[in-house]
Amino acid sequence: MSEKRKDNRGRVLHNGEIQRKDGRYQFKYIDANGKGKFVYSWRLDHNDATPQGKVRTLSLREMECQIQTDLFDNIVSNGGNMTVLELVEKYISTKTGVRPTTKAGYKTVTNFLSKDPFGRKHIDTVRLSDAKCWLIKLQADGKSYSFVLFFCKRICQLTSDYDERNYFNVEKFLDHNLILKPDDKYEVIELVE
């Protein structure tokens, strides 16, 4: 019978878990694309203390649980290091057989996002409040109602793949039409705070 692998403290390690020589724990898993990925943590369990001088992160088993949930739900862990612009381009690439005016609208979106700092943000860091503030900023910068509404609609179309984690869910935001009235933008800022 094979012997079970254990860490320095005598705890049994699960499949894919190892303890490195420096004491850090490592978990290897296969992502949705079939590539091997690794995550690391100084703690195996949530009850473990972080070694002195090391940054406290999720424990390895908490990371494993999150990864397994993401793989089961077909969610790319950590947003796949994808930016907002890359997500928009991916969405646009799925749209075939659209009218020339629609293609021109998509090009407008990608051109604007390629120049705007918001387009370079990673989708796993973007929250609803970030999207609201960005749309308010567009309106404050003098962009027209139709221009801002155009971006609201495009952002809502992107939410279908990422609703599960609420990365970029702006639909609630649109239901209340918060940014569309200049008088209401201060109420939105108070709401976000």
**Whole-number Å distance between alpha carbons of 27 and 17:** 5
For 170, other C-beta atoms within 10 Å of its C-beta total: 21
For 98, other C-beta atoms within 10 Å of its C-beta total: 11
Using one digit for the tens of pLDDT, what is the confidence trace for 14-61?
A: 999 999 999 999 999 887 777 888 999 999 999 999 989 988 999 999
pLDDT at 161 over 50: no
Using one digit for the tens of pLDDT, what is the confidence trace for 3-13?
A: 788 898 899 99
38 and 94 part of one domain: no
**Whole-number Å distance between alpha carbons of 23 and 51:** 9
- Residue 17 is predicted with a pLDDT of 93
Using one digit for the tens of pLDDT, what is the confidence trace for 56-106?
A: 999 999 999 988 887 776 666 556 677 888 877 877 888 888 899 888 888
pLDDT at 187 over 70: no
Quote the domain boundaries for residue 88. 79-192
Q: What is the DSSP string of 147-168?
A: HHHHHHHHHHHHHHHHGGGTSS
Domain-embedded: residue 131? yes
∠ CA 183-149-187, nearest 5°, is 25
Q: Provide the domain count of the chain.
A: 2
∠ CA 107-164-16, nearest 5°, is 110
Q: Token pair 């947003």 is at which residue?
A: 79
Relative to beta strand 25-30, strand 36-41 is antiparallel
109 and 164 part of one domain: yes
Please give the model's pTM, rounded to 2 decimal places: 0.51
pLDDT at 174 over 70: no
- Residue 18 is predicted with a pLDDT of 93
Using one digit for the tens of pLDDT, what is the confidence trace for 122-150?
A: 877 777 777 778 888 888 888 777 777 77
116 and 97 part of one domain: yes
99 and 151 part of one domain: yes
Q: Write the CATH number for 120.
A: 1.10.150
Do the beta carbons of residue 66 and residue 77 sit within 8 Å?
A: yes
Domain-embedded: residue 2? no
- Residue 78 is predicted with a pLDDT of 56
